[in-house]
C-alpha cells in the first residue's frame, strides 16, 4: 500500500499536470499529506472515508483510490525539492516504538506569537506547552529587519520580556524563555543591538533573504556561527517543500565549526521545512554538532509538529546528549552561558 509520503508525491505530480483551482487543490493536498494523523491506506482498510483527512474532498478521494487500486510498478521518487520529508503518521509510528527517546523531550525552542507573525498570545502558547508537559519553551518572535513578518524592535522586545515574566509567575510547571529569531543578513550579521540580545535567555539566528542563489554559501554559514550573539542557527538550509530547494554549502565544514563553537544547528519541525533534513542531520552527527528542535509554530496547535523533528533526529541517530531540548532547564541555561563566554566543547 502507498504511504502518505508516497501519496504526497503523486498528488504533487498531479498538481503539475493541472491548472487553476484544480492545481492548487492537488498542491494543497500534497502538503497536507505530511500532517495526516493516520495512513490513508489504514483508513481504507477500516472503511473510513478519506475525506477525514485534511484537504481531501470527494474528487481527490477518487484519484487516490485509483492509485491504490492500480499502483504503479515503481514507487514515486520525489525530485530534490520534495525529497527527504517525513510524514507525521510515519513519525508517530517510529516514536511509539522508541518511547525512551520521546520521554527525554523537555521543550520546544522556536515559536511565534502575535508580537510578530503568530496568531497566539504568549499565554496561549504557554498553555499549549503545559498540556504537553513541557519544562520550557522559547518565544522566538522575528526581529525588526524582517518587516514582512512583523519583526519587533528592541523596545518591543523589552516589553515582551515583561509579559513573559508575568506569564511565568502566573502558571506553574513551565518556564517561558525570552528569546528571538534574529534576522541574519548574508554576512551573518544580525539586526538587533547586542546589548538587548544579551538580556535574553536564548537567541536563535536565521537567514531569511538571498535564499535562491546556487553557488556555495559556506562562508555565510561560518560567519553566522561566529556571530557572538546567537547560540542556535535556525532552519539552516532554508528549504521549503515544493517551493525552494535551499542553499548549498560545505556542510561537513559548517557542522564541524558549529561543534567547535559548541553551538546548535536546528531541526525546524514545520512540515514544509523539516530543515535540517535527514541527509544533513547524518553529516551533523558525524561532525559532532549539537541539535536544537523547534516547531516554528505560529498557532498553539502547531506544537505537535515537534514529532517530525524528534523522528528525524532519531532516524539520523543523533546522540541524545547532543539534543539540547533534552537538557534540564538549568543545564540549558548553563550551556547558553558557556557559549556566550566563548568556551569550546571538548571533543
Kindly list the domain boundaries of the chain, sorted by start residue.
Answer: 4-78, 94-340
Q: Is the pLDDT of residue 31 over 80?
A: yes
Q: How far apart are CA 42 and CA 54, in angstroms?
A: 15
Mean of the per-residue pLDDT values for the chain?
96
Side by side, which strands form the sheet with 175-184?
A: 107-108, 136-139, 175-184, 202-207, 232-233, 264-268, 290-294
Which pLDDT does position 346 carry in this prediction? Answer: 58
Instruction: Collect contacts of 75-83 with beta carbons under 8 A, ≥24 apart.
Output: 75/2, 75/6, 76/6, 76/9, 76/10, 76/13, 77/9, 78/9, 78/12, 80/245, 81/239, 81/241, 81/242, 81/243, 81/244, 81/245, 82/8, 82/9, 82/12, 82/241, 82/242
Q: Is the pLDDT of residue 108 over 70?
A: yes
Q: How far apart are CA 268 and CA 205, in angstroms?
A: 12
Q: What are phi and psi of 329, to 5 degrees?
A: -55, -45
Question: pLDDT digit string (tens) for 152-187?
Answer: 999 999 999 999 999 999 878 899 999 999 999 999
Strand 232-233 with 202-207, pairing: parallel
Flag the least confident range among 58-67, 71-80, 152-161.
Answer: 71-80
Q: Is the pLDDT of residue 345 over 80?
A: no
Q: Is the pLDDT of residue 239 over 80?
A: yes
Q: Is 156 exposed, middle or buried (0-12, 13-18, 19+ CB in 10 A)?
A: middle
Q: Is the pLDDT of residue 347 over 70?
A: no
Flag the least confident range among 68-82, 293-307, 318-332.
Answer: 68-82
H/E element holding 9?
A: helix 4-17
Fold topology of 4-78: DNA polymerase; domain 1 (1.10.150)
Q: What are phi and psi of 125, to 5 degrees?
A: -65, -40
Q: Is the pLDDT of residue 243 over 80?
A: yes
Q: What's the mean pLDDT in 42-59?
A: 96
Q: Is the pLDDT of residue 113 over 80?
A: yes
Q: What's the mean pLDDT in 252-278?
A: 98
Give DSSP secondary structure letters for 292-343.
Answer: EEE--BSSGGGGGGHHHHHHHHHHTT--GGGBGGGS-HHHHHHHHHHHHTTP
Which pLDDT does position 75 carry in this prediction? Answer: 83
Residue 298 — pLDDT band, cuts 50, 70, 90?
Answer: very high
Which pLDDT does position 118 carry in this prediction? Answer: 96
Q: What's the mean pLDDT in 84-103?
A: 96
Q: What are phi and psi of 102, to 5 degrees?
A: -65, -35
The CATH number corresponding to 94-340 among 3.20.20.140, 3.30.930.10, 3.40.50.880, 3.90.550.10 equals 3.20.20.140
Per the structure block, which three cell numbers stand in for 51?
A: 475525506
Pick from 331, 307, 341, 339: which is nearest to 175 by CA?
331
Q: How many other CB atoms sit within 10 Å of the CB of residue 251?
A: 20
Which pLDDT does position 76 carry in this prediction? Answer: 84
Amino acid at each position: 500500500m502507498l504511504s502518505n509520503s508516497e501519496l504526497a508525491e503523486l498528488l504533487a505530480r498531479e498538481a503539475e499536470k493541472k491548472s487553476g483551482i484544480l492545481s492548487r487543490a492537488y498542491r494543497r493536498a500534497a502538503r497536507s499529506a505530511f500532517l495526516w494523523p493516520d495512513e490513508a491506506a489504514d483508513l481504507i482498510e477500516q472503511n473510513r472515508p478519506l475525506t477525514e483527512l485534511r484537504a481531501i474532498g470527494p474528487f481527490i478521494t477518487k484519484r487516490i483510490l485509483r492509485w491504490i487500486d492500480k499502483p504503479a510498478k515503481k514507487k514515486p521518487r520525489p525530485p530534490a525539492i520534495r525529497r527527504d520529508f517525513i510524514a507525521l503518521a510515519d513519525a508517530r509510528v517510529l516514536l511509539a516504538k522508541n518511547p525512551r527517546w520521546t520521554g527525554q523531550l523537555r521543550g520546544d525552542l522556536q515559536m511565534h506569537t502575535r508580537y510578530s507573525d503568530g496568531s497566539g498570545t504568549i499565554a496561549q502558547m504557554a498553555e499549549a506547552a503545559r498540556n504537553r508537559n513541557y519544562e520550557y519553551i522559547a518565544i522566538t518572535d522575528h526581529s525588526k529587519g524582517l518587516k514582512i513578518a512583523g519583526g519587533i524592535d528592541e523596545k518591543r522586545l523589552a516589553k515582551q520580556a515583561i509579559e513573559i515574566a508575568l506569564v511565568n509567575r502566573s502558571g506553574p510547571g513551565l518556564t517561558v524563555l525570552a528569546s528571538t529569531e534574529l534576522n541574519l543578513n548574508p554576512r551573518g550579521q544580525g539586526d538587533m543591538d547586542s546589548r538587548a540580545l544579551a538580556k535574553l535567555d536564548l537567541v536563535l539566528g536565521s537567514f531569511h533573504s538571498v535564499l535562491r542563489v546556487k553557488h556555495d554559501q559556506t562562508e555565510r554559514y561560518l560567519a553566522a556561527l561566529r556571530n557572538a550573539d546567537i547560540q542556535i542557527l535556525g532552519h539552516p538550509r532554508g528549504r521549503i517543500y515544493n517551493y525552494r530547494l535551499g542553499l548549498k554549502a560545505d556542510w561537513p565544514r559548517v557542522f564541524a565549526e558549529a561543534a567547535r563553537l559548541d553551538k546548535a544547528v536546528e531541526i525546524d519541525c514545520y512540515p514544509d521545512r523539516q530543515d535540517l533534513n535527514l541527509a544533513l542531520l547524518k553529516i551533523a552527527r558525524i561532525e559532532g554538532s549539537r541539535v536544537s528542535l523547534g516547531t516554528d509554530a505560529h498557532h498553539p496547535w502547531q506544537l505537535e509538529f515537534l514529532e517530525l523533528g524528534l523522528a528525524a533526529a532519531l532516524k539520523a541517530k543523533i546522540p541524545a546528549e547532543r539534543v539540547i531540548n533534552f537538557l534540564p532547564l538549568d543545564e540549558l541555561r548553563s550551556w547558553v552561558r558557556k557559549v556566550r563566554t566563548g568556551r569550546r566543547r571538548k571533543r
